[in-house]
Amino acid sequence: MSVTEEASDVATRLAAVRHAIDAAVRQAGRTDPVELVAVTKTFDADHIRPVLEAGQRVVGENRVQEAKAKWPALREDFDVELHLLGPLQSNKAKDAVALFDVIESVDREKIAEAIAKAADGAGRVPRCLVQVNVGREAQKAGAASEEAAALVERCRALGLPVEGLMAIPPLEEPPGPHFQALAALADELGLATSMGMSGDYAEAIAHGARWVRVGSAIFGARPQASR
């Protein structure tokens, strides 16, 4: 496939995802906004450009180092809002604050403190979401549901603007109950939600998702195995 054909395919898939999001919003009877976060992890700049050229301006990366390698150059040509979706290590907080406009993976107090310290040094404060481990999976990052309110409060005490809760349901379980649980918790705290990926974003929208994170449905199969 030529570069031109590949770019056309990516732009076509982006349009289809946008159409599906609009349909899901109508089906849910919602009037509040739903924002698409195009997940660009593992894809190089040439693969990402067609989506940016088609007007997509909200994008997500999982790793600080990967984002650092490709986004400064892309941002010379495109004004984007960059979200960090993957786990953040405290020693990467300075780079994360410099690179990202939104950090969706604030999963514990130590990380919140590292972000706040880096933000003070940079004079730049990213918007934040607290990640909740809705499936109580030992291998997955995120605060327990019963600890989320305290973490939100701690983030705000540190001067971090918390806009929502983020979650990734267990792969082997139906996502609906987990979306519903996160939505209920977010409603209690007066926050929005980031939930839903390529295979389940319509269901997430039905449960009130403010942001949906879609990668493979836009960009196609990833260069390496990844959800």
Domain assignment present for residue 79? The answer is yes
Asked if the structure places residue 227 within a domain, the reply is: no
Question: Given CA atoms 60, 112, 182, 87 in this order, what sign does their dihedral have?
Answer: positive
Asked, for residue 225, whether it belongs to a domain, the answer is: no
- Torsion angles phi and psi, residue 139, rounded to 5: -85, 0
Tell whether the model's pLDDT for residue 175 goes beyond 50: yes
CATH number at residue 31: 3.20.20.10
11-68 confidence digits (pLDDT tens):
999 999 999 999 999 999 999 999 999 999 999 999 999 999 999 999 999 999 999 9
Residue 103, H or E segment: strand 102-106
Task: Give the contacts of 101 (CB within 8 A, at least 6 positions apart).
Answer: 81, 82, 83, 126, 127
Task: State residue 111's pLDDT score.
Answer: 98
Is 226 a domain residue? no
Residue 130 CA to residue 141 CA, distance in Å, equals 11
Structural domain boundaries, residue 125: 3-219
Q: Give the torsion sign (CA, 169, 209, 49, 65).
A: negative
Q: Is residue 18 part of a domain?
A: yes
Question: What is the DSSP code (8-state) at residue 145?
Answer: G
**pLDDT score, position 225:** 43
Q: Is residue 134 part of a domain?
A: yes
Top-confidence residue, 103 or 224:
103
Reported as a single tens digit per residue, the pLDDT across 85-100 is 999 999 999 999 999 9
- What percentage of the chain carries pLDDT values higher than 90? 92
DSSP string, 40-96: -TT--HHHHHHHHHTT--EEEES-HHHHHHHHHHHTTT---EEEE-S---GGGHHHH
d(CA 88, CA 138): 17
Distance, in Å, from the CA atom of 178 to the CA atom of 133, rounded to the nearest integer, reads: 10
| pLDDT the model gives residue 221 | 82
> Mean pLDDT over all residues of the chain?
94
For the chain, what is the domain count?
1
